[in-house]
Amino acid sequence: MNARTTLLGTAAAALLIAGGLAACSKSGTGDAGNNPAMGKDFKLTSETITLPSDADEEFPAGPGAEAINNNCRACHSPSMVLVQPPLTHEEWVAEVDKMRNTFKAPIDEAAIPDIIAYLDGYSAKLKQSAGGTPAAP
Amino acid sequence: MERIDSRLAAALTRRRLLASAGASSAAIATMPLWAQSLYDLGLPGKPSTRPLTTTFPTKGEMILHRTRPPLLETPMEVFNDGVFTPNDRFFVRWHWASVPDSVDAASFRLKIHGHVDKEIELTLDNLLNDYERIEYPAINQCSGNSRGLFEPYVIGGEWGNGAMGNAMWTGVRLKDVLEKAGVKQGAVDVRFAGLDEALMPDAPQFMKSLKADHAMDGEVMIAFAMNGEQLPLLNGFPIRLIVPGWYSTYWVKMLASIEVLDHEDDQFWMAKAYKIPDTPNANVAPGTKDFPKVAINKMVPRSFVTNLKNGDAVAGGKPLAVSGIAMGGDTGVAKVEISTDGGKSWAETTLGKDEGKYGFRRFDASVDAPATGSLAIMVRCTNSDNIAQPMDMVWNPGGYMQCGVETVTVTTGEKA
C-alpha cells in the first residue's frame, strides 16, 4: 500500500500525524481494527485544490481549426476529440448535435460547417496514419 | 440563478478570449510541457497513447485522457502492487467542467428531502457522530471501463482497463440516514446529486437514482473515508455514495442531495444515459441499435494479469509466474483459471486473501514457458453465483460493461 505517500500528498497529513495516527499508515489493507476512519477521533478537514489549466491546449492547425478552437473548448479540453476513433461524417454531425441540444453547449450555429469540416479532416488524417496518433492530445 | 449566470458568463468570456487568441495564433498543438512521457493503452484503430501526468493535486502519476473535466486512468502496473488501490492512484472521472475546487467541511450540508416525513440537513459532524459506522472494501469501476478496446469502435471516453479501483470505504448506512428523515409510503426511487452542477444553465445536472428498496438495503453507504483517509477532492470529498457491486455511475461524488421520489426518476441521466441492452453481459451483435434497454446496474466478473503485459519478453524453458487481480462483480470470486492453449484447457490458480466479496481478489499461478516463441495467457474469473466471464469480448453501442476473457501475449526466449 502507498498510504504513506498519499498522506504526505494531502493537507490532512499534518493533522493525522499530529493525531498520532501515522502508525496506522498501513490503512486499507483490510486488517480488522486497523482503519483510522473507524476511530472516534477521525476528523474531516476542508479541501481546496487548484486544477491544472488547459489554456495552452489547442486543436492542431487545419481547415476549420479556428471554428473548433472558438466553440468547443468552453466545456472540454481538445483531447476529448483528439482521442476519438476516425468517426464518419454522420457520427461527427450527431456528436456536435448532442453537444448543442442535449448538453446545451453555446456553439455558434454559423460555425458548425467549419467544425464538421475540421472533424472530417481529423478522421481522414487518422485513417491515413492507420490509427496512430495524428497529434498529441 | 446568480451562480448559473456567473457560470455562463465565465464560459462566454472564455469563448471570447479563445476567439481573440485563436484569430492571431497559428500555434500548432504540441504535447503540453507537463506531459513527461506517453503511455500506450493498446487501443485498436484509434489514438492509443496518452500522456502520463503528475499535475493533478493529490494524485500521483496518472494516464491523462482529458484535463477538463478531468478523466484520469490508473496505470495497470498499480494493480500489481496489491488489491487495494492507493488514493493517489485512484481513477478520476467528472461529467461537467464545473468541478468544485474547494469544499468547506464546517459549512457543508447533506440535504435529505422529497417524499419524506421531515426534510433534514446533516453536517459532517452529524455523519461522523450520530450514526453507526460501517466499513468494507468495494470496487469502483466506470461503466465505460475498457471502452477504448471495443471493436468496432464506440464513441466516448476511450479508456483502457484502468478506470477502476478498489478501496476500503468507511461511512454510515444510507438506510440509517433515510430512516432519520422517514421515508414515506409510496417511495419509488431515491435520487442523488453532488455539488457539481451542469456547465450550462439549462443542461442536465448529473443525478443518479436507486430503487427505494435498494437504497434501504443496509449495504449502500455514505462514505467519508477511503483507505482510512478522507477522500481526495477529485474522488468526491467530503462524502460519496458507495453502491457495492454496482457500476461507478451510481457512486455520486460530493454527495449533497438525497431526494426521495414517489415516482420513477425520468431525468436525462437515468432515462436516456447509461442504458444497456437487456441481454446477458449487455452483449449484442455489433451495429445493433434496436433492443430492449435497461439502466446499467450490477457489475459482472472480470480478471486481469498484472505482472505481465502484452509484448513482454520473458525467460523461456522454465516456469513463468502469472499473477493478477479478479473481481466477482456483485458477489465474490469463486475461482480464477488460466489457459495457455487458447481456452481448450484451464488450470485453477491460487487465490489470495478474501478481503470482502465486493473487492479485488489476487490470484497467482505458474505456467511452463516454451524455450522460444510466443505464449498467450488467458485468464477467466467465475464468481460465487457460478457466472463466468464470456470467452469473447462483448459489444454494445454505449461501450459499457466490457467483461470478456483477457489475453496477455508474451515472447519467450533467452533473457537476461
Count how many domains chain A has: 2
Domain with B387 in it: what CATH number? 2.60.40.650
Query: Does residue A123 share a domain with residue A69?
Result: yes
Is residue A79 situated within a structural domain?
Answer: yes
pLDDT in tens, B270-326: 999 999 999 999 999 999 989 999 999 999 999 999 999 999 999 999 999 999 999
Query: Does residue B239 share a domain with residue B188?
Result: yes
Half-sphere exposure of residue A126: CA atoms within 13 angstroms, side-chain side: 24
Give the residue from A15, A17, A25, A29 with the most B CB atoms within 10 Å of its CB, the best one to mutate. A29
Question: What is the reported pLDDT for B10?
Answer: 44
Is residue B406 situated within a structural domain?
Answer: yes
Distances (CA, A) of A109 to A27, A43, A61, B12, B229: 53, 51, 21, 15, 48
Of B168-177, B206-215, B407-416, the poorest mean pLDDT is in: B407-416
Query: Does residue A85 share a domain with residue A120?
Result: yes
Is residue B281 situated within a structural domain?
Answer: no
Is residue A111 situated within a structural domain?
Answer: yes
Is residue B378 situated within a structural domain?
Answer: yes
Query: Does residue A82 share a domain with residue A121?
Result: yes
pLDDT in tens, A53-67: 998 899 999 999 999
Q: ∠ CA B338-B343-B346 to the nearest 5 degrees?
A: 40
Q: In angstroms, how far is the first alpha carbon of chain A from the final one? A: 32
Out of A27, A76, A132, the one facing B68 most closely (by C-beta) is A76
Question: What is the reported pLDDT for A129?
Answer: 84
Is residue A84 situated within a structural domain?
Answer: yes
Nearest chain A Cα to B98, which residue?
A75
Q: Do B227 and A28 touch (CB under 8 A)?
A: yes
Taking contacts as CB-CB distances below 8 angstroms, the residues of chain A near B57 are 49-51
Q: Which of B273, B289, B319 is the last residue of a domain?
A: B273
- Where in the sequence is the domain holding B114, given as residue range(s)? 1-273
Is residue B292 situated within a structural domain?
Answer: no
Query: Does residue A124 share a domain with residue A80?
Result: yes
- Judge residue B209's burial from the number of C-beta atoms within 10 Å of its C-beta, 0-12 exposed, 13-18 middle, 19 or more buried: buried
pLDDT in tens, A25-64: 334 444 446 899 999 999 999 999 999 999 889 999 999 9
Bridge-partner residues for B262, per DSSP? none
- Where in the sequence is the domain holding A12, given as residue range(s)? 1-51
Query: Does residue A98 share a domain with residue A45?
Result: no
CA distance A116 to chain B (A): 16
CA distance B201 to chain A (A): 8
Is residue B280 situated within a structural domain?
Answer: no
Query: Does residue B248 share a domain with residue B314?
Result: no
Domain with B264 in it: what CATH number? 3.90.420.10
Extract the C-alpha cell encoding B204. 442536465
Predicted confidence (pLDDT) at residue A14 exceeds the cutoff of 90: no
Query: Does residue B367 share a domain with residue B261?
Result: no
Count how many domains chain B has: 2
Is residue B282 situated within a structural domain?
Answer: no
Q: Do A134 and B47 touch (CB under 8 A)?
A: yes
